């Protein structure tokens, strides 16, 4: 939680949200900014060619073009688009 950013009395407090809420409940004056860290990226799960092909097929059956299906699977799995395309066409 940051208070009075870019000002003389700038203050930064780090902690759990519950602890910061208790601190703020005492009456904090000034402009407050809450900075929340994002979730750590999940480790990619290695997929075999058959699994990648099945994902692309499911997207195509759902109404996407092959190009869009390959892009969607690549984005979702983290596998390079060229590798997804190659697996889908083998």
Q: What is the pLDDT of residue 5?
A: 84
d(CA 17, CA 32): 14
pLDDT at 6 over 90: no
β-strand 32-33 against 11-12: which pairing, if any?
unpaired
The model carries a pTM of 0.52
pLDDT digits (tens, 9 = 90+) for 14-55: 888 888 888 888 888 888 888 888 777 766 667 889 999 999
Q: What is the pLDDT of residue 43?
A: 66
Contact 3, 30 (CB under 8 A): yes
d(CA 10, CA 70): 48
pLDDT at 78 over 90: no
Average pLDDT, the chain: 88
């Amino acid at each position: 939680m940051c208070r009075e950013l870019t000002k003389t009395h700038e203050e930064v407090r780090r902690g759990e949200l519950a602890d910061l809420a208790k601190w703020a409940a005492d009456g904090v004056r000034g402009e407050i900014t809450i900075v929340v860290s994002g979730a750590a990226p999940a480790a990619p799960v290695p997929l075999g060619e058959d699994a990648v092909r099945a994902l692309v097929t499911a997207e195509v059956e759902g109404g996407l073009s092959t190009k869009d299906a390959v892009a969607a699977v690549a984005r979702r799995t983290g596998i390079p688009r060229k590798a997804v395309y190659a697996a889908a066409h083998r």
